[in-house]
């Protein structure tokens, strides 16, 4: 059985039919998680295919967001991004992806999420870019991407309405990325907020946050 299948989407900007690879769910096998909950996959890596890119106009977003209509208020900003990237590298995003192609897809998604004023999604894109750079052993670009993820998570948390089901994830990454960048006081503050606010939660992020917080307190 193959690892990938083709899924069709309709681009909300240009109306083109977009084909993007998806990983069969039964082929997704997680061996373990790293300290920042980056999954280590056995076999095919779904992170390579999370972003759908329109090969006609280059509009890009996470698979779950791709077909969501764009507010007319934001459409002009989205079209500005399209004009700016019109002459970018002509990669084919509908075929199997390597890390380079996937990183470009995330970079494109960053531009469009910025245009749509979705700072939390911008942070998530930089986080995943950082993870892909880590898999390439490119520590310099990994740290650059994670630093941008932290900055955008901060902006997101302080300036955006956060749905309760998303807050544990954002608090976890505010804390964990602060810890990675040796910002101990910030890490302690965010882990403490996460653990105290969601002490009865069964969230994966809360469980991991309790463990990291305890590790920090013991040092």
Nearest of 133, 129, 25, 115 to residue 65 by alpha carbon:
115
Task: Judge if 49 and 63 occupy the same domain.
Answer: yes
Task: Judge if 167 and 69 occupy the same domain.
Answer: no
Task: Judge if 12 and 99 occupy the same domain.
Answer: yes
Yes or no: say if 115 and 77 are a contact pair by the CB < 8 Å rule.
Answer: yes
CA distance linking residue 98 with residue 25, whole number of Å: 19
Reading the block at residue 144, the tokens are 């650059």
Domain final residue pick, 160, 187, 209: 160
Q: Which pLDDT does position 46 carry in this prediction?
A: 97
Q: Which pLDDT does position 89 carry in this prediction?
A: 65
Yes or no: say if 21 and 53 are a contact pair by the CB < 8 Å rule.
Answer: no
Task: Judge if 118 and 15 occupy the same domain.
Answer: yes
What residues does 52 pair with on adjacent strands? Answer: 61
Q: How many domains does the chain have?
A: 2
Task: Judge if 180 and 98 occupy the same domain.
Answer: no
Residue 169, helix vs strand vs coil: helix
Task: Judge if 173 and 156 occupy the same domain.
Answer: no
Q: Give the structural domain span for 27.
A: 4-160
Reading the block at residue 107, the tokens are 């970079």
Q: Which pLDDT does position 125 carry in this prediction?
A: 98
Q: Which residues of the chain have pLDDT under 50?
A: none
Q: Which pLDDT does position 176 carry in this prediction?
A: 97
Q: Which pLDDT does position 90 carry in this prediction?
A: 75
Q: C-alpha dihedral over 159, 161, 166, 171, to 10 degrees? A: 30
């Amino acid at each position: 059985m193959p690892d990938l299948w083709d899924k069709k989407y309709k681009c909300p900007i240009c109306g083109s039919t977009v084909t993007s690879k998806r990983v069969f769910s039964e082929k997704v096998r997680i061996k373990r998680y790293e300290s920042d909950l980056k999954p280590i996959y056995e076999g095919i890596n779904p992170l390579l295919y999370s972003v759908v890119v329109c090969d006609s106009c280059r509009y890009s977003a996470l698979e779950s967001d791709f077909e969501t209509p764009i507010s007319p208020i934001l459409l002009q900003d989205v079209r500005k991004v399209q004009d700016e990237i019109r002459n970018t590298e002509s990669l084919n995003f509908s075929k199997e992806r390597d890390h380079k192609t996937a990183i470009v897809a995330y970079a494109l998604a960053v531009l469009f999420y910025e245009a749509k004023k979705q700072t939390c999604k911008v942070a998530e894109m930089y986080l995943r870019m950082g993870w892909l750079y880590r898999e390439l052993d490119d520590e310099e670009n990994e740290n650059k991407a994670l630093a941008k993820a932290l900055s955008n998570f901060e902006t997101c948390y302080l300036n955006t309405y956060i749905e309760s089901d998303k807050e544990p994830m954002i608090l976890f990454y505010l804390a964990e990325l602060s810890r990675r960048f040796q910002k101990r006081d910030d890490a302690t503050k965010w882990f403490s907020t996460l653990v105290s606010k969601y002490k009865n939660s069964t969230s994966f992020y809360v469980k991991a946050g309790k463990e990291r917080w305890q590790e920090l307190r013991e040092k």
